[in-house]
C-alpha cells in the first residue's frame, strides 16, 4: 500500500468520519504514538508502527485486537487485526472499513442469531442468517449501514483493517 493511499484515507477520516468506542471489541490498546504534526494525520510509517505494535500485543488464539490511530475530539480511527472469527454485530452508527492487508469474508445483512443488546444501541450475536457473503481484499473500502448485521466469521490467516464509525446524525441511515 502506498503512503499516498494511507494519507488520503487519513484525510477522509479527519474530515468526514466520526468514531465512537468500538463495541464488541474487548482487545483495545492505548495509542502507542502521537501522530506527527496534525492530530488528524498519520504517516504510512506511523500506521505500520501501530500495526506492528498491535501484532506484538496479540496473544495466541486471540481473534481480534483494536488499536486507535487518531483520537481527534469525538473522531477516532482504528487499526483492527483479525486472526479468527468474531461475533456478529449491529451498531447504531455507520462503519467504514479499508482493507490494509489480508483477505477474508464479510457477512452483511440478514438477521443476527441469538441477539444480545449491548452499549449505545449495539447488538451482538453468534452468527448471521440470510446475509450476503462478500470476499474482501487489500484496497477494498466498504460501508456497513447503521443497524445492519455484519460479521467477519474467519479471515484467511490475518486481516488488517482501518475502521471508523460515523454517527447516524452525520450520514444516511440504512437504505
Residues 107-118, mean pLDDT to the nearest whole number: 95
Who contacts 109 (Cβ-Cβ below 8 Å, separation ≥6)? 128, 130, 131, 132, 148, 149
Farthest CA pair distance, the chain: 46
Looking from the CA of 116 toward its CB, the CA atoms found within 13 Å total 10
Q: Is residue 48 in some structural domain?
A: yes
For residue 33, give the DSSP letter.
Answer: S
The domain that holds 128 is classified in CATH as 2.60.120.10
Q: Is residue 152 in some structural domain?
A: yes
What is the reported pLDDT for 75? 64
Q: Which domain holds residue 159?
A: 3-170
Q: Please tell me the pTM assigned to this model.
A: 0.75
Q: What is the mean pLDDT of the chain?
A: 79
3-state SS assignment for residue 42: coil
Q: Is residue 175 in some structural domain?
A: no
What is the reported pLDDT for 73? 59
Looking from the CA of 103 toward its CB, the CA atoms found within 13 Å total 4
156 close to 104: Cβ distance less than 8 angstroms:
yes
Counted domains in the chain:
1
Amino acid at each position: 500500500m502506498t503512503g499516498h493511499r494511507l494519507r488520503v484515507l487519513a484525510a477522509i477520516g479527519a474530515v468526514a468520519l466520526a468514531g465512537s468506542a468500538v463495541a464488541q471489541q474487548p482487545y483495545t490498546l492505548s495509542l502507542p504514538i502521537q501522530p506527527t504534526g496534525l492530530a488528524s494525520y498519520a504517516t504510512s510509517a506511523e500506521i505500520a508502527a501501530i500495526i506492528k505494535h498491535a501484532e506484538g500485543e496479540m496473544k495466541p488464539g486471540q481473534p481480534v485486537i483494536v488499536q486507535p490511530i487518531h483520537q481527534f475530539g469525538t473522531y477516532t480511527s482504528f487499526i483492527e487485526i483479525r486472526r479468527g472469527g468474531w461475533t456478529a454485530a449491529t451498531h447504531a452508527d455507520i462503519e467504514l472499513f479499508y482493507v490494509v492487508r489480508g483477505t477474508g469474508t464479510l457477512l452483511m445483512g440478514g438477521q443476527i442469531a441469538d441477539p444480545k443488546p449491548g452499549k449505545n444501541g449495539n447488538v451482538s450475536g453468534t452468527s448471521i442468517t440470510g446475509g450476503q457473503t462478500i470476499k474482501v481484499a487489500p484496497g477494498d473500502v466498504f460501508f456497513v449501514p447503521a443497524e445492519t448485521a455484519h460479521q467477519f466469521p474467519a479471515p484467511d490467516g490475518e486481516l488488517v483493517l482501518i475502521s471508523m464509525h460515523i454517527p447516524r446524525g452525520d450520514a444516511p441511515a440504512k437504505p
